[in-house]
Amino acid sequence: MKMKSNRRESAPQLSPAPLREANGSCAGTPEQRESPQKRGVKGKLKEFFNISGGIRKTDPKEKDTKKKEDMKKKEDKPLTAEQIVELIEDDKLFDAAQYLIALERGFHTDCSGKSEEELTRDRDEVEKAYELLKQKVFSIIRDSIIIVKKRPELLQHAVKALIEQENEDEKYKSEKPFDKILSSRPRKWKELWMDTVKKSTDERMKEIKGTTENLSTTALNFLHMGKTMKKDLTIVVQHIKQLYPLQFNVCSAYAECYHDYFASQVEMIAEFELEDKDVYLILSWVQNLYPNDIIKNPILKNDLEGAKLGSLLPAKQIKQLEAKYLCNEVANVKNWLGKTLELEIRRWTEEKEPEKPEKYFHNELDFHVLQTIHGGQKRAEEITPDLGKQASTILLVELSTFLKSYKKALEEFKEKNRQHRYFKETIIANVNNCASFRTHAEKTVSTPDDTKASILATLNEIENSAYNVLLQDLFLELKPLFKKFTQNKWACTESIMEEILKTTSSSLSEFHTLRDPFYKGIMEKIHIHLVREYIVRLMKKRVTLKTPELQQNLAKCITNDASLLQTFCTKNGSEATWLDSVLPKLAEIIRLQDSSAMKIEVAMLAKTYPDISKKHLAAILYIKGNLTNSEIKSVQSYLDQSGAPTTSRTPLFSAIKGS
């Protein structure tokens, strides 16, 4: 800006009304109005640092007093507009601001004898200088984030100039001058500062520099905005905040500007028809990354507590996106589970022995399925824990549906591939998978009982169906051996039982490739079958013993056989201890001759095995040929009086047809 060369080097002292002498005359002497230029560079620098406060710390009252004294000196010895412009160009912005205010106050109480035209010209030059100062100050403030580390003193002077103008606005408002000559007041630099901060933050959020990261445009935008906001606010908190007075709420002002821009971009993107990955991306930023990594960042959180930030999206819109996300996630998981099962079914038919890590047959189906389920749950949990719980519940329903398809596929394989070279090995490998599925279902919290029950029921069906297939050959081999009991009319029962157990033992080796819970499960199946088949032979009504002695001999044989059977099964891993008492109790009923004692034993039997019926009991009592029909009916009546439930944990008698 060029000023007229004939401008006087120093203007007459022009004090505002509050600074005038008590007698009403203009204060100041020619010596006091001496130009600062006469003091030289050293003097001006000294004055500058005095005005800036230097390094020495002083208490607030001392600072306020010194500030008034410094301002008084500038009013006593004002510079010309041209000289003030030089200060601005030399980046002495705080000095320039104070000298401009001094000139501005001088117009208020002018006693120089200047004409109106000269005063108007002076005011115009001051306004031009103000415009230059404003441009310089707000240019620096606009680049605060960049400048504060490189030239902190420059930003400090710009801020002090801003504060000085804001203070002058407040002073002008409080004094309410009787004339309205100062039409430029209030200058409202604080409002300009807020606008500048907003424009600055918007520009920085828009500037996406080149990146080699393999991300979508939306992901890059979010990543840039998140990094920029976090990095810039850290600079504001650590370097810029202390340059401003508290009433500026600098951290909140910057944070709200960054937040508003970020929120506007997220809201705009959310209005479009979003792909699955974009829904996840938006929710991740809105619900997790933004509030946790930025707002609650340890460096920032205390300074942002008073900021009006809130969420990047309205709650209603978030709920809609969460519902869409869960729907997408379920569809994706369902698709992957279907493909995984198809691939596994193809492997079953390849005539290859399943893998055998350690000593158990194994396939990767359970790993791939649960990895897919866990992946979906984890992605949701990374957004919010609550969404993770919702996903866990929904995905468990999908697992239930998958297991039913899995069960159906296994049934088809068993029907069509009996001649498969590794038929039993493949079945065993799939049974071993059930352990992982069962563990997942049992450990999943906040799950509806019916969903969990459905999964466990399906797994039980898969396991039991597999046991039946695996045991089919053994049970066929045992059938003629059990027939020997009745064929020999229950003579030499011990040798028959030993033959049955020896045949059973020879088949157990192939079941050791089952994992421990399933080996125990198949042993329980064997245990139940051996006990049940023994009871079946007792109920065949092929033998009736009319003397107590014969009945006692048979009871003794049954007790010995029961002991052999129990010892064998327990030794080989069966935990079906609930079966231990059934054969001894039947033997005791056969042995007893007193009807009252017999009735007590029947009641105890019915209490332990509540699925026994009158037909079952009648078939056992048939062996006791010395009982009348009325006595048999009297003993049977105790089944009605036992008050026991009609079902048990595992059926025993109900699986036997009453003879």
- 3-class SS string, 222-263: HHHHHHHHHHHHHHHHHHHHHHCCHHHCHHHHHHHHHHHHHH
Give the C-alpha separation, 156 to 168, whole Å: 18
pLDDT of residue 214: 76
Q: Looking at the predicted structure, is the pLDDT value of residue 363 above 80?
A: yes
At 30, the pLDDT band (50, 70, 90 cuts) reads: very low
pLDDT of residue 551: 94
- Regarding pTM above 0.85, the answer is no
Greater model confidence, 339 or 12: 339
Supply the Cα-derived Rg of the chain in whole angstroms.
Answer: 48
Burial of 38 (0-12, 13-18, 19+ CB in 10 A): exposed
Averaged pLDDT, 304-327: 93
Give the C-alpha separation, 258 to 252, whole Å: 10
Greater model confidence, 199 or 351: 199
| pLDDT above 70: percentage of residues in the chain | 83
pLDDT of residue 113: 62
CATH assignment of 489-640, among 1.10.10, 3.80.10, 1.10.357, 1.10.3470: 1.10.357
At 659, the pLDDT band (50, 70, 90 cuts) reads: low
Q: Looking at the predicted structure, is the pLDDT value of residue 185 above 90?
A: no
At 88, the pLDDT band (50, 70, 90 cuts) reads: confident
| Cα 525 from chain centre | 43
List the end-to-end C-alpha distance of the chain, in Å, as a whole number: 120
Tally the residues of the chain: 659
372-415 pLDDT, tens per residue? 999 999 999 999 999 999 999 999 999 999 999 999 999 999 99
Task: Output the CA–CA distances (angstroms, integers) from residue 650 to 394, 414, 528, 605, in the order listed.
Answer: 31, 25, 9, 15
114-143 pLDDT, tens per residue? 677 777 787 788 888 888 988 999 999 999
Q: Looking at the predicted structure, is the pLDDT value of residue 565 above 80?
A: yes
Residues 488/496, Cβ–Cβ less than 8 Å: yes
592-651 pLDDT, tens per residue? 999 999 999 999 999 999 999 999 999 999 999 999 999 999 998 888 765 545 444 678
Residues with Cβ within 8 Å of 332's Cβ and at least 6 positions away in sequence, in order, are: 276, 376
The three-point CA angle 321-323-324 to 5° equals 65
Burial of 101 (0-12, 13-18, 19+ CB in 10 A): buried
At 67, the pLDDT band (50, 70, 90 cuts) reads: low
473-509 pLDDT, tens per residue? 999 999 999 999 999 888 888 999 999 999 999 999 9
Q: Looking at the predicted structure, is the pLDDT value of residue 76 above 80?
A: no
At 557, the pLDDT band (50, 70, 90 cuts) reads: very high
Q: Looking at the predicted structure, is the pLDDT value of residue 22 above 50?
A: no
Residues with Cβ within 8 Å of 584's Cβ and at least 6 positions away in sequence, in order, are: 558, 559, 562
| Backbone dihedral region for residue 54 (phi beyond 0: left; psi -120 to 50: alpha; all else: beta) | left
Greater model confidence, 497 or 110: 497
Name which of 273, 403, 393, 407 is nearest 330 in CA terms: 393
CATH class of the structural domain 318-466: mainly alpha
Encoded tokens for 644: 């026991």
Q: Looking at the predicted structure, is the pLDDT value of residue 212 above 90?
A: no
Q: Judge if 318-466 and 489-640 fold alike in CATH terms.
A: yes
- Enumerate the domain spans of the chain: 81-108+116-173, 198-313, 318-466, 489-640
Averaged pLDDT, 268-278: 87
436-473 pLDDT, tens per residue? 999 999 888 766 778 999 999 999 999 999 999 999 99
Q: Looking at the predicted structure, is the pLDDT value of residue 289 above 60?
A: yes
95-107 pLDDT, tens per residue? 888 888 888 777 6
Residues 381/446, Cβ–Cβ less than 8 Å: no
pLDDT of residue 94: 86
pLDDT of residue 641: 64
pLDDT of residue 98: 87
Greater model confidence, 177 or 472: 472
| pLDDT above 90: percentage of residues in the chain | 62
**Out of 71-80, 161-170, 386-395, 552-561, least confident range:** 71-80
Helices 276-284 + 315-348 axis angle, to 10: 130
Report the b/e string of 385-424 with b at 16+ CB within 10 A.
Answer: eebbbbbbbbbbbbbbebbbebbebbeebbeebeebebbb
Averaged pLDDT, 411-421: 92
**Out of 72-81, 188-197, 554-563, least confident range:** 72-81
**Out of 106-110, 333-337, 391-395, least confident range:** 106-110
pLDDT of residue 446: 65
pLDDT of residue 316: 94
Mean pLDDT of the chain: 84
Residues 473/540, Cβ–Cβ less than 8 Å: no
Encoded tokens for 332: 């994706």
